[in-house]
Chains A and B, each alone.
Chain A
Amino acid sequence: MLASLTRLQRYYLYYTGIFFGFIFFLAVLERAGMPPRWVGYAFLVFTVSMYALIGVFSRTTDVSEYYVAGRRVPAFFNGMATGADWMSAASFMGLAGTLYLQGFQGLAYVIGWTGGFVLVALLLAPYLRRFGQYTIPDFLCARYGGNAIRLIAVFAAILASFVYVVAQIYGVGVITSRFVSLQFEVGVFVGLAGILVCSFLGGMRAVTWTQVAQYLILIVAYITPVAILSWNVTGVPVPQAVYGKVLAEVTELEKKLFNSPEEIAVRALYADRADLYAQKIMQLPHSLIQERERLSIEINALKASDAQMRDIVALERQRRELPPDPAQAREQWEKDMYLALDRSKPPTPHAEPFPGETAAERNAQRINFLALIFCLTVGTAALPHVLMRYYTTPTVAQARQSVFWSLLFITALYVTAPAYAVFAKFEVLSHLAGIPIAKLPGWVAAWSKVGLVSIEDINFDGILQFAELSLNPDVIVLATPEIAGMPYVVSGLVAAGGLAAALSTADGLLLTITSALSHDVYYRVFRPQSSTQFRLVIAKSLLLLVAVLAATVAAQKPGTILSMVAWAFSIAGAALFPALVLGIFWARATRAGAIAGMVVGLLLTLYYILRLEFGGYSWLGFADGTLDPWFHLKSTSAGVFGIVAGFVTNVVVSLLTRQSPQTAEFLACIREPGEGR
């Protein structure tokens, strides 16, 4: 049977075998008493050196190899590489947690991120492959002509990709600092090294083959813990098939628990707290002074009595941490108020779509859900680092098949994520809620130390109510091995999987940014006469530069950057999608139309995001404060307006301007093989 496989398939079969052998070996060592920390190190060193090995073997000095892997990647492997390229640290760690917290509402991500590949398959991949150049700006430039459109496309591609790559490196820092207890900043630069060994020497060629290797690790790492958990709970190790039964049990538990008198009392306490904050905000700046005075009086009273030093220090810290001025107090207290308000609301049942008290609220939820799906779908279909992968297959037919393999490999993870969420919720509802706080399982304490789990006994009854527990989304996947009581080797495996997801995506993005700068800006615009050799030197140095820059930004721990990733989809979708699709399917689209459409789409999206999220900052020129959302849409769905505006502008301006004569020839090449070439 082995002989019927291709050389590549055999290599990756051996590789998978070695990986399983390695896990088994570590499991045995752990049994024999190897400390958990060493298990973590072993995973880190083993996987990164595997990637480095592949990276070094795939080194290249050929431009076509560096940018598009020589267009020799078979559909199946390109699908796997796209899967790893696509699934980021957020998909791996965050998605299951989002589904845990939001229930049905979180499924918008699952649907949007997979639906995008339908658009890629039908509208883009085959045509990009038939065109056969190196980048997305290349395509737009060839279709519409002129360097202006190339530069706009480069700007949009870099804008969408850079934030994204920073978030990946941040993810690497989080994983390494948690599992091998490196310092966060050190972890970030370890991640940087991991990224560079894959991409620096071999460009797309090396990235492709390491991404295949990374996909195998990440999918094994993702499915293993939840399969074991499913085996424990239901006796069937296929969580995707059996979690319906568990979901039914969760629904039963929810019905019983959410209306219990204790839960209702706790929620009322949170509502009181929110009211208190609201009052304090209303009475600013007076309330801030009062708060400080109150603490001072208490401290003095304590000091006068013979109270514990520890209590005095705690109160002094409270006073010190009071916001220094009314503006910051307002910001801080508003945040606290919304947190309390969130917890005071009755939780929504996991399986209920579009929850709301009134029909109008439910409709707003429904519209937001569909709008988010639309944005994520179109954004997925326009992200340059995904589209670039379809330049690397040998033929157009293989590009079409490759989209199928991509979606199949991606679906394997996305079908599992909702199961993760349901199993985790089952564990929490059946084994945590209603348990005395002193008797909680060990993992709760372990993860509260890192700040990912927090419990607050607001009603002082010594028992944990569901509303008193808050979980960070990342913790669901990271802590599942401990929740199910598995050995540390499984936790190490999960860390290696998260690392693989973050590194593979970072590599793809880095290559996109590099090729946009070195190929599109340097070679095409500034120095068309430069030699092949020199172009590669430029590409490699830019890669290094961008990588170091991204790692430096990530080392600053920018908290907001994680929420900014969701905007990348809107930005890419609004700027690139209309121009690409109309360029292929509508002969009448003109250069002026495309440029106008891209600019309008991009600006409108950016305006909506900035206006909604940073409306209070007058230096941005929004003196009149935050905008009221249009049609109740959140900023993550800003692309809805941008994409529609982009299409409309493109069509209107195109009809008003004249077509360039070379369009017909270009379209003949793109739409049909064998003509014009």
Chain B
Amino acid sequence: MKAVSAYWCRTRRLTAWLLLIWALLTFVVIWFARELNEYQFFGFPFGFYFAAQGILLCYLGIIVYYSQRMSALDAEYEIREE
């Protein structure tokens, strides 16, 4: 098997970081929802707001960032498909 290429290495690193952020948001922040409800946010208890809206916006952010970084990576390695 040949050595892992730089493109794949960087793709993998980006994926791992974003997955880590996803897991932290989903499983660690939500774990503390009870405690976060002590704080107010635009009239919402913050724990409730984060679970109902905040986390969805973060998910969208993760996907946009991934898509942009990968396009930049494609351009850097001069990859064009079909």
Residues in A lying within 8 Å of B, measured CB to CB: 104, 107, 110-111, 114-115, 117-119, 121-123, 126, 130, 240-241, 244-245, 247-248, 351-354, 362, 366, 369-370, 373-374, 377, 394-397, 400-401, 403-404, 407-408, 411, 414-415, 418, 585, 587, 664, 668, 671-674
Contact = CB atoms under 8 A, between A and B. Distances in A.
B56 A104 contact: no
A368 to B, nearest CB: 12
A587 B3 CA distance: 12
Contacts of A353: 33-34, 37, 47-48, 51
Nearest to B12: A585
Contact of A415 (B47, B53, B81): B53
A401 B67 contact: yes
B42 interface: yes
Given A366-B34, A403-B67, 4 more contacts: A121-B66, A353-B48, A353-B51, A411-B56
Contact of B59 (A114, A130, A247): A114
B34 A362 contact: yes
A590 to B, nearest CB: 14
Contacts of A130: 81
A244 B67 contact: no
A117 B33 CA distance: 22
Contacts of A117: 59, 63
A121 B18 CA distance: 11
Contacts of A244: 41-44, 49
Contacts of B31: 366, 370
21 contacts: A107-B51, A110-B51, A111-B30, A114-B55, A240-B53, A244-B49, A351-B48, A352-B37, A353-B33, A354-B33, A370-B30, A394-B82, A397-B71, A397-B74, A404-B64, A407-B60, A418-B53, A664-B1, A668-B2, A674-B79, A674-B81
Contact of B34 (A110, A354, A401, A664): A354
A668 B30 CA distance: 38
A377 B44 CA distance: 25
A667 to B, nearest CB: 9
B30 A373 contact: yes
Contact of A247 (B12, B33, B44, B74): B44
B27 interface: yes
A415 B49 CA distance: 10
Contacts of A674: 79, 81
B24 interface: no
Max count, chain A CB within 10 A of own CB: residue among B12, B49, B59, B63: B63
Max count, chain B CB within 10 A of own CB: residue among A104, A245, A585: A104
Contacts of A374: 27
A396 B70 CA distance: 10
Contacts of B62: 118, 121-122
B15 A411 contact: no
Given A366-B31, A418-B52, A126 B70 contact: yes
A449 B52 CA distance: 33
A122 B41 CA distance: 30
Interface string B16-51: 001100100011001101100100011111011101
